Structure 1
Amino acid sequence: MWINQPITRVEVHSTLRYIHKSRVQSMLNPLIKSRFFQLDLQRVREVLLSQSWVKEVSLRKEWPDKLVVFLEEKEPVARWGDDSLITGDGDVFGLRNLEDFQALPVLKGPYKQAQVVMQQYLAIGQLLRPMGLVVNELDLSSTGAWSFQVNGVRVNMGEDNRAEKLQRFIRLYHARLESQWQRVGRIDLRYSNGAAVAWNNS
């Protein structure tokens, strides 16, 4: 029927950084063979969301023969373990090749705690950034102990009183460590009101 035309035009709205437009097109091609009124938008949405990089999808049909696609990509903030990436929302997604993301920090922990680990990473980074320190790695062990690596130095915090221990680290850095940071090997904050500093052999 002339009023129920095949879909002949697809318009994709997105600032694509990680997904190639050709990939989007190849996914859509077998799905848009239906005519205008038979096109299953929910099915199209599910297929697009199945892609690792796709965060959100919205679709609109425009009569007589057009499909409009709005795509939002995931934005990786860090690597998660050895084979995945994680967004600022704590959404972990795997990729076959992480070669292009080696410069990102590494977060580790139980998968179910990914959102908590990301929140802690953002909180620590916000505290230390004004000091010129960058968190390279953050670990949450299976026992609930936290540690992070900042500018190459490992800092152990343990399980409890993280906020107080971070403030202690900041005071220690400004009072004693900033001028000789290159000599610091690791820092242990797992004490009630102190810290231990291990120095590099050099």
Structure 2
Amino acid sequence: MRFLMRAKKPTGKAAKADTKGRRSPRKPEADLESGRARAPLAIGALVAGTLAVLGAGVYAWQVDAPNRIASWAYDGFMGATAGLGLSVREVYAVGRTETARSDILAALGLKIGDPILDFSPEEARERLETLGWVRAAEVRRTFPDKVVVRLEEREAIAIWQHDQRFVLIDSNGIEIGEKDVHRHSHLKIVVGPDAPQHTAELLALLGSEPELEDRVVAAVRVGARRWNLRLEGGIDVSLPEEGASMAWRKLADYQREHEILSRAVGEIDLRHPDRMTVQLTEPGLQEVMGRGKGEET
């Protein structure tokens, strides 16, 4: 659990005045994990009294009655509750790994000292779930002064190159965003309008042959039907529309037996189930032709 925002502790005379006659508070983590509001008795009594006097007005505001409380009265009420201790002093996040702290705080729209009763957890949740990394969010208030955010984040599996942009995507093909691409440059690049929806399937295929998978740098979706792969060293591999896993296994076997990828190869065509077509690079072709000319006849 990480705290995002916390009120500063008073120092000097203010600290002595603030702690005089008060028991030591429990640790924030204990309050958050139990989820129980344990406000001091004095604050509870004052809050109960305030709510009893203003209860009718608050109800009118909640049901949006025609003659609801004027905005100045509402602000005054919220200010009064904050003065009684019902104000935000700590904000915690659970499950945050990729989501930026600043993005979470901006979505919450909170600052230290805001009336906690004026904060809507549901509206904050909706804003949080518009963030690229956030798959799901839960927001709750822990009275008298804490807000807890629980996040379920997406996992980036590839970088999608589209419309001159590089965007992180998750296993469902959902865009996470381009903000953090530089931190995930180890991921493979996929290209094509429908590439995100088929990337998880492609990665499963590539992972069936780990030695070959490590050589793959990028994949291009061709005609919304099949993939072309770019391997290290600039080697292009054309996979078939059907039987791609079998073709991938065939290339892996051939690599283990003949180390074909260590040669001067430019393209490998696996689209035909009965044969593998290999095209040499220009230097490789010249080398082969040179050898042919040197042979005795």
Question: Is this a same-fold pair by TM over 0.5?
Answer: yes
Match runs of 1:35-114 below 5 Å: 35-36=116-117, 39-81=119-161, 82-95=165-178, 98-111=181-194, 114=196
TM-score if structure 2 supplies the norm length?
0.57
Whether 2:286 is the aligned partner of 1:190: answer no
- Which moves more between the two structures, 27-36 or 87-96? 27-36
How far does the alpha carbon of each residue in 1:63-120 deviate from its partner, in whole angstroms, 9 at most, with x for none? Answer: 2232111123333222111321112343223325744444431012334x52322221
Query: Which secondary structure state, in structure 2, belongs to the residue aligned with residue 83 of structure 1?
Result: strand
Runs ≥4 residues deviating over 6 A = none
RMSD: 2.8
Q: Distance in 2 between matches of 1:49 and 1:128?
A: 36
Matched residue type, 1:175: E
Unaligned 5+ runs, structure 1: none
Work out which of the two has the higher radius of gyration on C-alpha atoms and give 1 or 2.
2
Q: Percent identical across equivalent pairs?
A: 21
- Normalization by structure 1: what TM-score? 0.80
Query: CA shift at 1:47, angstroms?
Result: 0.8
Q: Structure 2: which 5+ residue stretches go unaligned?
A: 1-45, 49-80, 284-297
Q: 1:29 to 1:143 in 2, by over 3 A?
A: closer
- Residue in structure 1 matched with residue 32 of structure 2 by the alignment: none
CA drift of 1:139 comes to 2.0
**1:151 correspondence with 2:232:** yes
For the 8 Å contact 1:110–1:142, the answer to whether it is kept is no
| Structure 1 residues 166-177: aligned runs within 5 Å | 166-176=248-258
Per-residue Cα deviation, 1:30-53 (whole angstroms, up to 9, x for no partner)? 4994543x5322211111111222
| 2:97 paired with 1:16 | yes
CA displacement, residues 147-178 of structure 1 (integer Å, 9 cap, x when unaligned): 112334211013121122112212222233x1
Q: Which has the higher helix share?
A: 2
